[in-house]
Amino acid sequence: MTILAGTAAWVIALAVVLLVVRPADPRPAWVCVAGIGLGLFGILYVRRRDSRS
């Protein structure tokens, strides 16, 4: 549940960065994308780990 909440927070942060802040430098958007990717990896990892038990 914590990983899901964190991933959702990164999605919201990406929306804020793209829609509100509109940075000239694309790094903040890529940081959000990396956070989303790591969150999705974490969700898959935990589900796979729990299914083995």
Residue 18, number of CB atoms within 10 A of its CB: 13
CA-CA distance, 5 to 27, in Å (whole number)?
23
pLDDT at 10 over 90: yes
For 21-43, the pLDDT digits (tens) are 887 889 999 999 999 999 999 99
What's the confidence (pLDDT) of residue 22? 83
Q: Report residue 51 CA to chain centroid gap.
A: 23
pTM score over 0.95? no
